[in-house]
Amino acid sequence: MLDVSTVLVTGSTGFVGSRLVSTLATEGRYNITAATRQSGSVSSLEKVVQVQIGTIGPSTNWVKGLGGQDIVIHVAAVAHMPSSCDDVLARYQSVNVEGTRNLALQAAKAGVKRFIFLSSIGVNGNASSLPFNLIDDVNPQEPYAESKWHAEEGLKAICSVEGMEFVILRPPLVYGPNAPGNFGTLTRWVDRSLPLPLGAVHNKRSLVALDNLVDLIITCIDHPGAANQTFLVSDGEDLSTTQLLQGVAEAMGKPSRLIPIPASLLQLGATLLGKKSVAQRLLGSLQVDISHTQKRLNWTPPLTVKQGLQRCFPDHQD
């Protein structure tokens, strides 16, 4: 096992980062530094020191956060930016690519042993007829995924020269309590008991529960098999959009109001309305093969999909 006592977490007030910091603090094995853009609420946690870094970019000074750190877990990123933003590409480049490279280089110079980077399955692509695995060629289709790919390559290049270990994690859609993005949209639909024309969708999509992702990140902190590896992650169960909505409704204690409209008709309608990308996320398949992750790390997702969905809505559980 890697000898580790101190961990720096970026994005520590975000969806993934906040759960990661609180879980690490509860375990009590590490001294944690939580990097934030501005003063936040993480400093009240035991064994957590908050460091205000400001905006992440190519010129960010990380000296306040990196001193004495063994591990950096880089969760912070720009995501979910509308394509209508004029500077979307520049923002992705500045924060996700150059910001990651800048942090990695300063971390290596500061003596950090291992740099864990939260990437995206979008690096592999946004659709799959067979489960993605590590031998597949990368195929990012969107600016966010492209920025993650370039950040991965920059990180590996720096680690190769500086001797710092890297770990890259590529999750698909992450769901959990108050999740942003597509999962948050789906839950709002179900919560409103809206009739949805998604009762006959037979795709297969891999997801990952927030707590499963956090568990894997923590496993990678000091596991010897994680050094200089890229891992795909999911719950190990694939669901159709219909099954996901049914599961969300059950976890929320809501009726499942799904109308069985053929997926081909939905695809046609979305194309005519110029919503092909939305249709792809709802109707297309995206599967992830996590066998390498499981074997290399002797890791199994601790939560089933049903358990992960139940944790999203604790007020509705008995």
pLDDT in tens, 212-255: 999 999 999 999 999 999 999 999 999 999 999 999 999 999 88
- Distance separating alpha carbons of residues 76 and 122, to the nearest angstrom: 16
What are the tens digits of pLDDT across the range 147-159? 999 999 999 999 9
Average pLDDT of the residues in 112-119: 98
Question: Is 12 a domain residue?
Answer: yes
- Give the CA count within 13 Å in the CB-facing half-sphere of 236: 15
Most confident region among 29-38, 102-111, 127-136 by mean pLDDT? 102-111
Average pLDDT of the residues in 291-309: 96
9 neighbors 23 (Cβ within 8 angstroms): no
Question: Is 274 a domain residue?
Answer: no
Question: Is 254 a domain residue?
Answer: no
What strand order describes the sheet that includes 229-232?
A: 48-52, 31-36, 6-10, 71-74, 114-118, 165-170, 229-232
Question: Is 41 a domain residue?
Answer: yes
Task: Indicate the pTM of the whole model.
Answer: 0.93
Average pLDDT of the residues in 30-48: 79
Confidence of residue 182 (pLDDT cuts 50, 70, 90): confident
* 266 pLDDT more than 80: no
- Distance separating alpha carbons of residues 12 and 18, to the nearest angstrom: 5
Question: Is 10 a domain residue?
Answer: yes
Question: Is 211 a domain residue?
Answer: no
* 203 pLDDT more than 80: yes
What strand order describes the sheet that includes 173-175?
A: 173-175, 205-209, 238-239
CATH number at residue 110: 3.40.50.720
For 51, the domain range is 6-170
Catalytic residue positions, numbered: 144
pLDDT of residue 267: 83
* 315 pLDDT more than 80: no
At residue 48, what is the residue type?
V
Question: Is 311 a domain residue?
Answer: no
What are the tens digits of pLDDT across the range 40-79? 666 567 778 899 998 899 999 999 999 999 999 999 998 8
Question: Is 152 a domain residue?
Answer: yes
Phi/psi of residue 66, nearest 5 degrees: -95, -15
**How many domains would you assign to the chain?**
1
Mean per-residue pLDDT over the chain, rounded:
90
Count of C-beta atoms within a 10 Å radius of residue 23: 15
Confidence of residue 84 (pLDDT cuts 50, 70, 90): low
What are the tens digits of pLDDT across the range 128-174? 888 998 888 899 989 999 999 999 999 999 999 999 999 999 999 99
Share of the chain above pLDDT 70, in %: 95
Among 128, 104, 125, 127, CA closest to 116? 104
